[in-house]
Chains A and B, each alone.
Chain A
């Protein structure tokens, strides 16, 4: 259940705040905000992030998905593009609520993994489990058959994705970008969706931009909106596909800080493809090093970045640091 119900309902809630608030500025908690209520509140549970975050955090943690995030399991997954086999019987598991970063040279299949999970690419072989259900197959008469559109639609509800190129809808303003999915897919009323959207815009520090069109925003702002748009669907699994690669260098940090706080304050299962090793260290519990569609090495970030045991990992890290 969206915890936002409990936290945003009161007068003076998130939506009523003046739009002039500057992202990053310290915020007076609005009256009626649920921080002190009986609702389960992640801030107390994982309070680290809120104290150091320059990104507005704290009371907005309300909109972040919490509760039961599913795990993910790849079972002998095969993906080809023509004659090029990108994933060759790949096996790996992500625990519920775990935050995993995928690194590796380009063409190693990291992005393909995310795209398979978002159903942007078709699976060629094997099974992908989200929780205890298969993404690309469904049960029929005790047999496993390829998923139909309906099954994919149901499964996709658990997954959200943020893209390298933001992919905001340029024909809609920011607010509409955030309400489209909740209204059309989740069946929220316009008012509920707007309220949720405003809460998220506040969290990403763009309250004053709700009427702007994506083209009027900087890359960093667009990516913040895209993050908010993905979260508005309340996914349980969030996929981040090189989300800062298209940003100007000075905008990278802000978006990374935002994501780090989101990661820490939510219980999302997170899969992240990135070339920013500092960000990977910050955001994840585990790093998987890929090469040619296989996992070369895996471990906690400190180990992978500090003392990698595989030569291929060392070579890759050296190449990334040199660039």
Chain B
């Protein structure tokens, strides 16, 4: 089995096209995860204990079930109830929703890490609740968790091939398609691996840079 350079060059555009979808799905899903995670966390801190528990169990449920059944549910089950969404959109939403339950935990830890004295200073200054959160607690909490949130971007990127389960033509799916056509899988699958490594390494470097920047508060 020999590496076919000519074939590699031929399939590269298709694979890069797949990579484009992978990156789009990851980034869009990440935006959802980062925003929705914060929403979950804040919803869990309302005065109503029952409501907080409900939110807790919803997020617990989403976090404890695998991504692929969730993708199937959104893509194949929801249409039965009249909700039909395209595969890429369904993939983005599901990926974002799934990971939002992880980022929620990250935010929760970040908020818990803000020293008690900060809350007390807010009380002593008589700041209204909204200002306590927006001006004091969240800026400090989010700063603390930026490196961890960055790691979830990489984790999502590596989980994105699961989107092929609902026919999103992301990187691995494109590789599968070109491979199936020619029955030559060595080159496409290897290139997929290389592309993942390249993007992951670049992201890691960026995350580490963030870490350094925010490590010193």
B-binding residues in A (CB < 8 A): 118-120, 153, 156-157, 159-161, 163, 165, 167-172, 180-181, 184-185, 215, 229-230, 233
Cβ-defined contact, A171 with B139, below 8 A: yes
Minimum distance in angstroms from B149 CB to a CB of chain A: 17
Contacts of A119 in B (CB 8 A): 123
Count of CB-CB pairs between chains A and B under 8 Å: 63
Cβ-defined contact, A161 with B124, below 8 A: yes
Contacts of B118 in A (CB 8 A): 167, 169
Q: How far is the CA of A181 from the CA of B121 in the complex (A)?
A: 10
Minimum distance in angstroms from A160 CB to a CB of chain B: 7
Q: How far is the CA of A167 from the CA of B115 in the complex (A)?
A: 9
Cβ-defined contact, A170 with B117, below 8 A: no
Minimum distance in angstroms from B204 CB to a CB of chain A: 27
Contacts of A153 in B (CB 8 A): 126, 128
For chain B, residues 109 to 132, give those with C-beta under 8 angstroms from any C-beta of chain A.
115, 117-118, 120-121, 123-128, 131
Minimum distance in angstroms from B95 CB to a CB of chain A: 31
Q: How far is the CA of A156 from the CA of B72 in the complex (A)?
A: 54
Contact of A180 among B115, B123, B125 (CB under 8 A): B125
Cβ-defined contact, A184 with B123, below 8 A: no
Minimum distance in angstroms from A123 CB to a CB of chain B: 15
Q: How far is the CA of A170 from the CA of B121 in the complex (A)?
A: 12
Contact of B126 among A163, A172, A215, A233 (CB under 8 A): A233
Residue picked from A159, A169, A233, most chain B C-beta under 10 Å: A169
For chain B, residues 99 to 156, give those with C-beta under 8 angstroms from any C-beta of chain A.
115, 117-118, 120-121, 123-128, 131, 135-136, 139-140, 143
Q: Would you call B83 an interface residue if the criterion is a C-beta within 8 Å of the partner chain's C-beta atoms?
A: no
Cβ-defined contact, B140 with A171, below 8 A: yes
Contacts of A165 in B (CB 8 A): 115, 117
Q: How far is the CA of A229 from the CA of B118 in the complex (A)?
A: 14
Contacts of B1 in A (CB 8 A): none
Q: Would you call B217 an interface residue if the criterion is a C-beta within 8 Å of the partner chain's C-beta atoms?
A: yes
User: A183's closest neighbor in chain B, by CB?
Assistant: B131
Instruction: Give 16 CB contacts A-B under 8 Å.
Output: A118-B120, A119-B123, A120-B124, A153-B128, A156-B123, A157-B126, A167-B117, A171-B136, A171-B143, A172-B135, A180-B127, A181-B126, A184-B128, A184-B131, A185-B128, A233-B125
Minimum distance in angstroms from B126 CB to a CB of chain A: 5
User: B121's closest neighbor in chain A, by CB?
Assistant: A167
Contacts of A181 in B (CB 8 A): 125-127
Q: How far is the CA of A165 from the CA of B118 in the complex (A)?
A: 10
Contacts of A229 in B (CB 8 A): 125
